[in-house]
Structure formats: C-alpha cells, structure tokens
Amino acid sequence: MRQRRERILVIDDSPEAREVISRNLTAEGFQVLSAPGVPEAVQILDSDSLDLVITDLKMPKVGGIELIKHVRARSSDIGIIMVTGYASIESAVSAVKEGAEHYLAKPFTDSELLTAVRDVLEKVRFRRSGHGDNQTASVRSHGLVGESAAMRAVYEVMDKAASISATVLVTGESGTGKELVARGIHYGGTRAQAPFVPINCGGIPEGLLESELFGHVRGAYTGATETRAGFFQTADGGTLFLDEISETSLAMQVKLLRVLQDKEIRMVGGTQQMNVDVRIIAATNKDLLDLVRRQLFREDLYFRINVINMEVPPLRDRDDDILLLAQHFVDKYSNELGREPPRFSDRVLEVLRSYHWPGNVRELENVIHRLVVMSEGAAVDVAELPSVMRFSVQHGVGRHLTLSQVEAEHACSVLASVDGNKTKAAEILGIDRKTLREILKRDVARSEQ
C-alpha cells in the first residue's frame, strides 16, 4: 500500500464546486487542498508538495490555462485535470497543449471524476518511478507488484495463509503470478528458513513423476543405479509447490492424497514408510470442480488441497496495477542492461492500459523487456509496440464481428503474445493444440475468400 496519501489541489471560483469535488476525493482517501483562484493556488503550489491539480478553466482575473502554464514551468511530474462548464474543442486542445492530461466538461458524475483522477495519478506514479521516486509503487516480496483492490484482497489472504500450515489452492489464468503468490506465502511464514521446492506437474513425464516426488531406491527400475531422494524429502520442513496439479493422473492423485492424509511417503522400490513435514501449495489454471464433475480429478483430493483458496486476478482486472508493473519491469531490465530507463509517451501508456493482456503479467513483462532491449533512444512511442497491441487497441472497439471472427482474432492475439508458441497459446486459451490449429486454419481460409 502507498506510504502516504496523495495530495490534490482543487481550484474553482465556485465554493459549491470546490466542496463537492473535495468531499468526493476525501472520501476516497486522498488529501485535498482547495483554492478559490489562481493567486491562492500559486501560493499553495510554491509551499506544498502536490501530486495532482484540478482546475477550472474560466475564473476571474486569471484563468486555468495560465495556471497550467505555471504548473508545467514548475514541474513536469504534477498531474493536471482541467474542468469547465464552457466545453469546446478549442478549450480542450488548448488545455492539453499546455500540459493538462485530462479534460472534464461540467456537469460530470462522481464516477467520471474518480476515473479521471485515478488515470492521471497512475501516470504521475509511472513518471516519478522513472526518476527513482518509488515510494508510491507497491512492490511486495518475491516480485509481486500491485496496489489495486484485487491485489490487496490477494495480499490479505496470503498473510492469513502464511500464519498457518494448511494446504492452499492457488487458481488463476496462466501468467498471473501463481508461483510468486506461493513463494510469498512460504517466505512470509514460519517455514521461511526451510526449502521452497517448486514442481511443474505437467512438465514431468507421468512415468517419472512418482520417482521425482517420492524418490527411489537403488535398483527400483532400470537405470536406478543409486538411491535418490525425491522432492518431498528435499522440501521436508518447508513447502512443496505443485504447479498445474490438474495435469496429474488419477493414479498419482491417489498417492498424493495418501501423503496428505498420513504425512508419510514411500520411495519407489522401497518398503519403509518415511515421515515428512511438508506444507503443500497447489496451483492450476483450470477449473478443478469441472474436472471433478468429469471424473478427471479426484473429489477427495480436491477438498484436501482446497483448505485455503485464493484466485489470482487476471491483468485485465487490475487496471490500477498495469503501469506500476510496467515501470517495475522497465527498471528491472534497464538495470540488467546497464542503461537509463526509457521514457514512455502518454500514447504508449494509454495503449498499455487499454490492451486486454491475454498472457497476463507474463505477457506484459515480455513486452516491456523487448521495448527496453530494442529502444535506441530515450523515448518509446506507439510505433515501437508489438503490432498485435496496436491493432487490438485501434480496431478492438465498435466493430461488428461474428463469434467465429472474435474467436479467431483472440487466438491470433494470444499466439502473437507468446511469440508463436502454439503449446503455450493453447494453454492460455484453455484448449488443446488441435483445436487451436483448427481455429487458425479457419481464419486463414476465411481471409483468402
């Protein structure tokens, strides 16, 4: 969470307008100052540290445009919103040209005001973090970044889960950061000094998974030339993270259930039971209850691992975090390359916020990494973004498409976001590779007609 409340200055010659705006913003947790005109506002600007200025356009003696010029001459990092009861294209263009970042025509709703304030403040945080002022960025342990309501809910459950040793089921789409959540739970709890052992259940062949989990004794099978401990022994006293647990077979699920119930394992080829003290955190991007209904996942194991459940939200539901995450990755990869972080234009920031991010945080990290590596100057503009992002933002609204066309376009977008990796794209889409190939084949056939 932020270390301090953001400070907003409201300037309007109407006491009623100042009161309404101030009351609404104070209720949202902001620290609000107000002034009846430009001279009073200038005094506050010269003596206080501010994050955002909301100014009326037409005021006695000195108007809002002159105030915008003064603010911009003083600082490029303070956000500015222009409000007016005399809306026109000319006044909007003039306000934006002088440095305003948002324009609201009176009367506006509370929702419109708060949306504009949050959008501009997010840009302010992004710009300031580029200058090394990171006090507003919420960067949790082990790479978790975010201060949105959705992520604060995740942090709250993480804190509760860290204080006990119950099993945890972490759900969410691919690329949302489920392993980071698991690491945060482990290292925030009493087992932090013991090992955290991550396992991708879908990445180990079925025939080897039992040996990898429980270990094997010498001679247990052809090639077992020595006794070797498994992941459960390695994680003794700590946490075992079973990623994509939905990929395990029913036979393996029975063995996992027995371990969870008895706290004992038996090595492949062995005869002795061994006690283990391991906390289990499981994760999946699939609907386990649906798999239970289809008899593809054991119901008893589902209830055993689902003592504490948390869903990591997709990036499209974390609008307030997108620019914080982007700056985090900009700093990370700029430091790795030993170069100054590039500046993103406001148009790029708008695209980052508007894009639907099918690959979630993993896709955002990939895009930012590429931009940092490929940027040759100090600034990054829209032309340097991946074509799929430019196309999605420019053409994604207001078109009348068939359901099949929407399906194909989304599949192509996801495929492009993972650099053409069909296996990963199919995983994100929740379909198999064959279905993905059929969708792409239909799209090619339609485009050739």
Q: pLDDT, tens digit, for every residue of 280-301?
A: 999 999 999 999 999 999 999 9
Whether residue 307 sits in one domain with residue 320 = no
Q: pLDDT, tens digit, for every residue of 349-395?
A: 888 988 889 999 999 999 999 999 988 767 888 888 887 787 665 55
Q: pLDDT, tens digit, for every residue of 163-186?
A: 898 999 999 999 999 999 999 999
Q: What is the CATH number of the domain that holds 118?
A: 3.40.50.2300
CA angle 20/86/67 to nearest 5° reads 70
* Separation of alpha carbons 79 and 414, rounded Å: 34
Say yes or no to pLDDT of 334 above 50: yes
Share of the chain above pLDDT 90, in %: 35
Q: What is the mean pLDDT of residues 200-204?
A: 91
Whether residue 67 sits in one domain with residue 195 = no
Instruction: Answer with the residue of higher pLDDT: 121 or 139.
Output: 121
Whether residue 343 sits in one domain with residue 435 = yes
Whether residue 148 sits in one domain with residue 273 = yes
Which pLDDT belongs to residue 406? 67
Of 40, 32, 38, 39, residue with least CA distance to 10? 32
Q: pLDDT, tens digit, for every residue of 81-132?
A: 988 776 555 566 666 667 787 878 778 888 889 888 988 888 787 777 654 4
Length of the chain in terms of residues written = 449
Q: What is the mean pLDDT of residues 428-448?
A: 75
Q: pLDDT, tens digit, for every residue of 35-73?
A: 999 999 998 988 888 899 999 888 888 888 888 888 887
Q: What is the CATH number of the domain that holds 250?
A: 3.40.50.300
Which pLDDT belongs to residue 248? 95
Q: Which of 267-271, 283-287, 333-337 has the highest mean pLDDT?
A: 283-287
Say yes or no to pLDDT of 412 above 90: no
Whether residue 123 sits in one domain with residue 150 = no
Give the residue numbers spanning the domain of 89. 7-130
* Separation of alpha carbons 124 and 118, rounded Å: 10
Say yes or no to pLDDT of 402 above 80: no
Say yes or no to pLDDT of 206 above 50: yes
Q: What is the CATH number of the domain that holds 370?
A: 1.10.8.60
Domain boundary among 95, 130, 165: 130
Instruction: Answer with the residue of higher pLDDT: 221 or 166.
Output: 166
What mean pLDDT value characterizes the chain?
84
Question: If pLDDT is split at 50, 70 and 90, which confidence band does 218 have?
Answer: confident
Whether residue 69 sits in one domain with residue 19 = yes
Whether residue 197 sits in one domain with residue 122 = no
Q: How far is CA 27 from the centre of its chain?
A: 26
Domain boundary among 76, 102, 130: 130
Say yes or no to pLDDT of 263 above 80: yes
Domain boundary among 253, 284, 311: 311
Q: In this structure, is residue 1 part of a structural domain?
A: no
Question: If pLDDT is split at 50, 70 and 90, which confidence band does 343 have?
Answer: confident
Say yes or no to pLDDT of 398 above 60: no
Which pLDDT belongs to residue 129? 63
Q: In this structure, is residue 55 part of a structural domain?
A: yes
Full strand arrangement of the beta sheet holding 31-35? 31-35, 7-11, 52-56, 79-84, 102-105
3-class DSSP state of 311: strand
Whether residue 283 sits in one domain with residue 248 = yes
Whether residue 325 sits in one domain with residue 289 = no
Q: Domain count of the chain? A: 3
Whether residue 279 sits in one domain with residue 147 = yes
* Separation of alpha carbons 199 and 181, rounded Å: 15
Confirm if 55 and 26 have CB atoms less than 8 A apart.
no
Which pLDDT belongs to residue 1? 37
Question: If pLDDT is split at 50, 70 and 90, which confidence band does 142 have?
Answer: low
Whether residue 304 sits in one domain with residue 215 = yes
Say yes or no to pLDDT of 447 above 60: no
Whether residue 287 sits in one domain with residue 160 = yes
